[in-house]
Amino acid sequence: MKFRCERDVLAEALTTAGRAASSRSSSLPALSGVRMEVRGDELSITGTDLELSIRLAIAVGGERDGAVVVPARLVADIVRSLPSGAVEMELEGEELGISAGRSHFAIRPLGLDDYPVQTESVAEAVTLSSSVVADALRQVVRAASTDDARAVLTGVLVAAEDDGMRMVATDSYRLAVRDLPENDMLAGGQRVLIPSRALNELQRLLGHADDLQVRLGARDAVFEAGGTRLTTRLIEGEYPNYRNLLPSSYPNVLTVGKDALLEALRRVKILAQDATPVRLGLGGDTLRLTAITQDVGNASEEIDATYDGTEMTVAFNPDYLAAGVDAVDADEVTLSTMDPMKPAVIRAVGRDDYLYLLMPVRVP
């Protein structure tokens, strides 16, 4: 195997595929690497940990076809460190040579025969708008759990609805729901649970493509965007019944500017240390934010707002609250509550396709 490629193009491709390579100790060392294969003037690079796979192809100056598996992070770091311009890679015997300018590295490959074979999906492809999907993922994935102890909560539920498709994520402290009307990715009544880790990676890819092709199989999902293919295993299990958490109406509604609230939160939460909640004083024509950390100090700020309902104080985890407000795609947001102990819902003013439900924190 021998080829030449521009450093920046090769470094980006190695980094992208390498994000799917296993970072954990494994009985199969080859999974910590990426598979590189040259055919003519095309180089394909694949990374996988058996749960998630990323494969992409780039144009190179190919001189000799062949394949090799190399340590993912090591080779990406080497290529990024090289001087700008063309990088040459050549496999000779038991060493992969990497050269650019006066720099030269020799790397011992991993076991090519040990690398898992990538199978092609036979499911029918559905084409979606990359920008629409990217916007939905930005709003929803942030609410998924990162705790593997409850595997189903580390996924995003994608379910068919009467008028399209719905994405749902929760970590049991917050819940994000986004509706995508007139979307035919799923068959009637179909529900799949896609790992949030895979969807986080998908978000990185969607900025480089206009369209997204999706293939949903019985146990896996395949996404293709901008010449890159991402394959992930689906999560098995029953997703919690989130609908019970969504009251049909709320008697208390705060309306406030999104940017003003985020800026106030950013300042006040400096004093919200050690998981200290931020308190929202609801009432009148201002919103008062307060954070009190024992033996450290306190912070408060008032911003203009409108409020319709009973005066009360409700407290939230400041990071979770900021994440929900940031996800809303509008200049103004509403925060709707039943009482200080019931979940609150954040929405955009004038839009009802997204909601972010947040559990309050009990305070004295």
Residue after which a domain boundary falls, among 244, 265, 294: 244
Of 204, 223, 244, the residue that ends a domain is 244
Examine the domain organization and report whether 297 and 323 are in the same domain.
Answer: yes
How many domains are there within the chain?
A: 3
Helix (H) or strand (E) holding 221: strand 220-225
Q: Are 327 and 356 in contact (CB under 8 A)?
A: yes
Report yes or no on 202 lying in a domain: yes
Residue 89: phi and psi, rounded to 5, are -120, 135
3-state SS class at 15: helix
pLDDT of residue 187: 79
Residue 337 within any structural domain of the chain: yes
Residues 79 and 147 in one domain: no
Do 250 and 235 lie in one domain? The reply is no
Residues 131 and 238 in one domain: yes
Instruction: Kindly state the average pLDDT of the residues 13-19.
Output: 97
- CATH code, domain with 170: 3.10.150.10
* Nearest to 145, CA basis, from 177, 172, 178, 176: 172
Residue type, position 213, single letter: Q
Residues 197 and 230 in one domain: yes
Average pLDDT, the chain: 93
Q: Which domain range does residue 153 map to? A: 126-244
223 three-state secondary structure:
strand
Domain membership flag for residue 116: no
Predicted local confidence at residue 288, as pLDDT: 97
Q: What is the pLDDT of residues 98-147, one digit of tens each?
A: 999 999 999 999 999 999 988 877 778 899 999 999 999 999 999 999 99
312 and 274 in a common domain: yes
* One domain for residues 273 and 204: no
Of the residues 185, 214, 244, the one at which a domain ends = 244
Digit-coded pLDDT (tens) for 243-289 = 988 878 889 999 999 999 999 999 999 998 878 999 999 998 999 99
On whether residue 23 sits in a domain, the answer given is yes
Which tens digits make up the pLDDT trace of 172-197?
999 999 999 877 788 778 899 999 99
- The answer to whether residue 203 is domain-embedded is yes
Confidence band for 28, pLDDT divided at 50, 70 and 90 = confident
Q: Which pairs with CB-CB distance under 8 Å and at least 24 residues apart come from 261-268?
A: 261/287, 261/303, 261/325, 261/333, 262/322, 262/325, 262/326, 264/289, 264/301, 264/303, 265/289, 265/318, 265/321, 265/322, 265/325, 266/322, 267/299, 267/301, 268/299, 268/300, 268/301, 268/318
Q: What is the pLDDT of residue 49?
A: 93
The predicted-structure confidence for 228-248, as pLDDT tens digits, reads as follows 999 999 999 999 999 988 878
